[in-house]
Amino acid sequence: MQKRKKILLSILAAAVLIPPTGSLVGLTIRRFWRIYHPNQPLAMPPSTPMERLNPLSRGPASFLFPSPAQRDSYPDHCQNIYNLVCQKQGVTHDPTGTVSSDVDGERQALHIYRELIEQYKDYPGSDEQKVDLIAEALVQHIFNPKQRGRILSAYHWVMQAIERFFERQPDTVFTPLEKHQIKSVLKRTRLEIPPPANVYADEPDLLTKNEVYYERTVEEKMRLRVGGAYIFIAKSWFNLVFTLAHELAHSIDPCEMRSIRLSFPAYDRLTACFLQNGMIKTFKIRKECGQNDQLAETFADWIAVEVTAEALATFSTEFRGPQVINAARNSVRDLCDQDDDDELDMFLHPSPRIRIEKIFGSNSKIRNLLGCHPTLFKPSECSFKGETE
């Protein structure tokens, strides 16, 4: 029996054996996707925004010690973007949709799987034929033309947004040759989504998993894949944009570039800024791009925030204030929790507070969209030039 069939049959068995309310924790999570727990207990941040203010770069001294009037003139959420995103209970609706928990998504995918197994149980043919038919019927249902179109359009929008972001950089930051090299690598990444089901023949359980990931295969093929359960979860276009942007950014992250022997001074300046501002955790011995190094993840988040800021700004002309805030929440709300049982998640990803407060919450465009003051309560922001503010 081929390996693929064995795996598919084990999925079928699992689909039948696992009760609908069974625990779906302990799922393999690669690169990005995070489980969202709305009731996550909140801890105090490592330092208050006021403590992080740098008097030499923060403009008027009054912002160091804002008067009550100054505080009152900006929304409370500007003081703690992490709380804005993670403290809100229940489902958040933005004009494009919602974001559910990944457990919900996997339940829905498995529910459809079980129904298909029932439907095909008396079908004449071998078990292997049934497995193929069921997998094909599953992907036709989940990756239907509407959903495929939604993912493809978000993917192309994100690809172009990343290209625009690099194009906007001055030639003193990236030379025309460097921009060309980065864009060439970016464009080599292909989005792989079913149907047919055999697109994921080497990883068939992805059809019911809540994973979105980028990978470079041993044949040097660069691809981005989307698990079936994710389709049920990310109804919000902004979550889709952040997720795809994060994964696509991995194709050009400093570690991927290093693996193809490309390096850029601008990447080095950005990395230095990440380290200086605690956006990369420095373990006792840090080996850049080595095991447990967070550089690639922080870079991918940072690019994804830039892309998301552009997406939010584009739609802010037609959305009203609270809608923009909800869209911003939905873009990153799955970053709120960290899976303590997942070593990859624990060591490779910065903590949720760093990801949301320091990477997302320091972005000037995001803060502007959230109605925050350009400098007041703003964590240090990194750029390809180094620290900007």
Nearest distance from residue 348's CB to Zn ion, in Å?
7
Nearest distance from residue 217's CB to Zn ion, in Å?
17
Site for Zn ion contains 4 (CB under 5 A):
no
Of 80 and 239, which CB lies nearer to Zn ion in the complex structure? 239
Q: Which of 370, 371, 389, 368 has the alpha carbon at shortest distance from 380? A: 389
In angstroms, the CA 317 to CA 10 distance is: 49
- Please tell me the total number of residues recorded for the chain in this structure: 389
Secondary structure letter of residue 99 according to DSSP: B
Nearest distance from residue 332's CB to Zn ion, in Å?
13
Of 30 and 373, which CB lies nearer to Zn ion in the complex structure? 30
In angstroms, the CA 41 to CA 340 distance is: 14
Q: Give the DSSP letter string of 12-49.
A: HHHHHHS-TTS---S----TT-----TTPPPPPPSS-H
Our CA angle for 46, 51, 52, nearest 5°, is 85
Q: Select from 27-35, 89-97, 253-261, 365-373 the region that touches Zn ion (CB under 5 A).
A: 27-35
Of 32 and 232, which CB lies nearer to Zn ion in the complex structure? 32
Of 80 and 294, which CB lies nearer to Zn ion in the complex structure? 294
Site pattern 298..317 for Zn ion (x: CB under 5 A): --x-----------------
Report which residue type is found at 56: L
Give the one residue of 12, 27, 30, 31 binding Zn ion; rule: CB under 5 A.
31
List the interface residues with Zn ion, window 158-177 (CB under 5 A): none
Which residues are bridge partners to 212 per DSSP? 226
In the chain the beta strands, taken as DSSP E runs, fall at 190-192, 212-216, 222-226, 382-383, 386-387
Q: Give the DSSP letter string of 323-334.
A: HHHHHHHHHHGG
Nearest distance from residue 302's CB to Zn ion, in Å?
11
List the interface residues with Zn ion, window 201-240 (CB under 5 A): none
Of 34 and 373, which CB lies nearer to Zn ion in the complex structure? 34
User: Tokens 């947004």 label which residue?
Assistant: 161
Q: Select from 7-15, 82-90, 176-184, 293-301 the region that touches Zn ion (CB under 5 A).
A: 293-301
Nearest distance from residue 297's CB to Zn ion, in Å?
5
Burial class of residue 249 in the structure, from the number of CB atoms within 10 Å of its CB (0-12 exposed, 13-18 middle, 19+ buried): buried
**Range list of H helices, 235-342:** 237-250, 254-259, 265-276, 295-316, 321-332
- Binding footprint of Zn ion, residue count (CB under 5 A): 4
Of 132 and 256, which CB lies nearer to Zn ion in the complex structure? 256
Nearest distance from residue 116's CB to Zn ion, in Å?
32
Of 222 and 300, which CB lies nearer to Zn ion in the complex structure? 300
Q: Select from 166-174, 296-304, 315-323, 339-347 the region that touches Zn ion (CB under 5 A).
A: 296-304
Interacting residues of 109 by C-beta distance below 8 A, sequence separation 6+: 138, 142, 207, 208, 209, 228, 229, 232
Site for Zn ion contains 295 (CB under 5 A):
no
In angstroms, the CA 99 to CA 88 distance is: 13
Nearest distance from residue 20's CB to Zn ion, in Å?
30
Q: Select from 73-81, 90-98, 225-233, 292-300 the region that touches Zn ion (CB under 5 A).
A: 292-300
Of 279 and 376, which CB lies nearer to Zn ion in the complex structure? 279
Token representation of residue 177: 């040759």
Of 31 and 107, which CB lies nearer to Zn ion in the complex structure? 31
Nearest distance from residue 242's CB to Zn ion, in Å?
11
Site for Zn ion contains 32 (CB under 5 A):
yes
Q: Select from 28-36, 77-85, 120-128, 281-289 the region that touches Zn ion (CB under 5 A).
A: 28-36
Report which residue type is found at 353: R
Q: Using N-to-C axis directions, what is the helix angle for 295-316 and 237-250, rounded to 10°?
A: 140
Give the H or E element holding residue 216.
strand 212-216
- Pseudo-torsion of CA 199, 201, 202, 207, nearest 10°? 80
* Residues of this chain that bind Zn ion (CB under 5 A): 31-32, 297, 300
